[in-house]
Amino acid sequence: MKKHSTTLLIFLGLLVLSAGCFYSVLDGKALLVERDLAVFFIPPRLLWTNILKGGEFP
């Protein structure tokens, strides 16, 4: 039972952090587009270095 309450607490904490981070989007004051979302998912420098290490060239 304690494991379920810990999992629920972690989930709620992440939900609150996400809502705080994306408040302007949830409120309708901002609109996220492709270039805005890249910062949240993968840093561009890391992406480019991984591509170049993999042998692909743009």
pLDDT given for residue 34 in this prediction: 60
- 58/9: higher pLDDT: 9
Residue 8: pLDDT band with limits 50, 70, 90: very high
- 6/25: higher pLDDT: 6
CB atoms within 10 A of CB 22: 13
For the stretch 17-54, pLDDT in tens is 988 887 877 776 666 566 666 666 667 777 788 888 88
At residue 24's C-alpha, the angle toward residues 23 and 26, to 5°, is 60
Token pair 């561009």 is found at: 44
pLDDT given for residue 32 in this prediction: 59
Structural domain boundaries in the chain:
2-53
